[in-house]
């Protein structure tokens, strides 16, 4: 029953893309104009107002993992560091290594991404099904217009409006942070409630901005299905309307599932932006700081970790898809 061949194929593709992303992460700062190392020196010289001691330069180089060694040696060094979880030292949060910053920030981002994408996918598909089945009616038009309007609103503007209405003016929701300061971090009820309360507004905003695509996609998928022969056949068999709708829905959701794995990358982009607005302590907040202070080690670390998370998410969805789509299931047997 398990489509081994399909899973194997997807895993190989995953490894290839992962290797590509890791190499891209190595190459990007070295190919682009302006050496990050020089930028760091220049910044220090500018602040210090004078020349820089060569000994200090050498110290900096070893501290930030910058070297003048040949490319291939740097590359092996980089891979070796990665394997040991060494992503360099952050410039903006100086003594702290990038890996420990990421360990603190990434769980929050993953929590936001997974919960918002799951809820948005579920509600969006239901709404799309509702619109598709009731098409040509006022309900369809209303749902359509709503999703188009939501999809056309810039995500960060909506975030600011939400923040203004619900946090600044009315104080219903907190202005930032991920949990209240008077709960203990851990698996206990007050902490979970507090985390859910603090994340409500960001998640709601992400859902509102991403739901439109699901609704419209589902609607356009289900309409050809509702019109197709097998539905007429089931009608003739005398199945109830809900049963027929369920059949059409199951068939229509497959393209949206493929879209699901593709949309993880887009959702992560959205979440990064929202986090910086809601001061939510995920990678997005650190990323904005990193850009402002030109913290390349941190930026690269975030880039790498986010890409790895997205790739793993993709792999999981792809493998699940293999179980959902009977065609692939049969192919693998």
Residues near other proteins (CB under 8 A) are 13, 16-17, 20-21, 28-29, 32-34, 36, 39, 135-136, 148-149, 151-154, 156-157, 160-161, 163-164, 168, 216, 220, 223-224, 226-227, 232, 262, 264-266, 268-270, 272-273, 287-288, 290-292, 294, 296, 299-300, 302-303, 306-307, 310-311, 314
Q: Which is nearer to other proteins, 168 or 192 (CB)?
A: 168
- Candidates 191, 211, 202; CA nearest to 263 is 211
Please report how close the Cβ of residue 310 comes to other proteins at its closest, in angstroms. Answer: 6
Q: Which is nearer to other proteins, 137 or 188 (CB)?
A: 137
Please report how close the Cβ of residue 276 comes to other proteins at its closest, in angstroms. Answer: 9
Please report how close the Cβ of residue 44 comes to other proteins at its closest, in angstroms. Answer: 14
CA distance 214 to 234: 26
Q: Which is nearer to other proteins, 167 or 191 (CB)?
A: 167
Please report how close the Cβ of residue 330 comes to other proteins at its closest, in angstroms. Answer: 20
CA distance 290 to 177: 18
On whether the CB atoms of residues 64 and 97 are closer than 8 A, the answer is no
CA distance 320 to 291: 36
Q: Which is nearer to other proteins, 191 or 293 (CB)?
A: 293
Q: Which is nearer to other proteins, 71 or 175 (CB)?
A: 175
Please report how close the Cβ of residue 154 comes to other proteins at its closest, in angstroms. Answer: 5
Please report how close the Cβ of residue 96 comes to other proteins at its closest, in angstroms. Answer: 19
Q: Which is nearer to other proteins, 125 or 314 (CB)?
A: 314
> Under 8 Å CB-to-CB from 3, ≥6 apart: which residues?
322, 323, 328, 329, 331, 332, 333
Q: Which is nearer to other proteins, 195 or 285 (CB)?
A: 285
Please report how close the Cβ of residue 122 comes to other proteins at its closest, in angstroms. Answer: 22
Please report how close the Cβ of residue 302 comes to other proteins at its closest, in angstroms. Answer: 8
Q: Which is nearer to other proteins, 52 or 165 (CB)?
A: 165
């Amino acid at each position: 029953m398990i489509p081994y061949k399909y899973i194997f194929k997807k895993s190989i593709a995953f490894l290839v893309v992962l290797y590509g992303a890791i190499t891209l992460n190595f190459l990007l700062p070295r190919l682009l104009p302006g050496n990050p190392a020089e930028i760091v020196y220049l910044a220090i010289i500018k602040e210090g107002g004078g020349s820089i001691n060569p000994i200090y330069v050498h110290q900096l180089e070893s501290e930030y993992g910058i070297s003048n060694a040949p490319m291939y040696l740097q590359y092996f060094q980089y891979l070796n560091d990665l394997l040991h979880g060494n992503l360099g030292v952050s410039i903006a949060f100086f003594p702290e290594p990038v890996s420990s910053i990421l360990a603190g920030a990434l769980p929050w981002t993953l929590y936001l991404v997974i919960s918002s994408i799951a809820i948005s996918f579920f509600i969006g598909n239901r709404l799309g099904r509702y619109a598709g089945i009731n098409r040509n009616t006022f309900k369809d038009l209303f749902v359509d217009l709503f999703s188009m309007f939501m999809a056309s609103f810039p995500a960060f503007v909506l975030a600011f409006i939400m923040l203004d209405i619900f946090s600044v003016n009315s104080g219903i929701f907190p202005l930032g942070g991920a949990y209240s300061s008077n709960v203990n971090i851990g698996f206990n009820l007050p902490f979970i409630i507090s985390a859910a309360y603090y994340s409500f507004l960001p998640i709601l905003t992400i859902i509102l901005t991403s739901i439109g695509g699901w609704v419209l996609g589902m609607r356009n998928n289900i309409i050809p299905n509702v019109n197709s022969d097998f539905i007429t056949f089931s009608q003739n068999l005398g199945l109830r309307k809900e049963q027929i709708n369920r059949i059409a829905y199951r068939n229509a959701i497959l393209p949206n599932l493929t879209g699901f794995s593709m949309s993880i990358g887009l959702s992560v982009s959205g979440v990064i932006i929202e986090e910086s607005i809601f001061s939510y302590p995920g990678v997005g907040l650190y990323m904005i700081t990193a850009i402002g202070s030109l913290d390349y080690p941190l930026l690269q670390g975030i880039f790498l970790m986010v890409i790895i998370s997205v790739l793993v998410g993709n792999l999981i969805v792809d493998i699940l898809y293999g179980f959902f789509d009977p065609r692939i299931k049969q192919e693998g047997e």
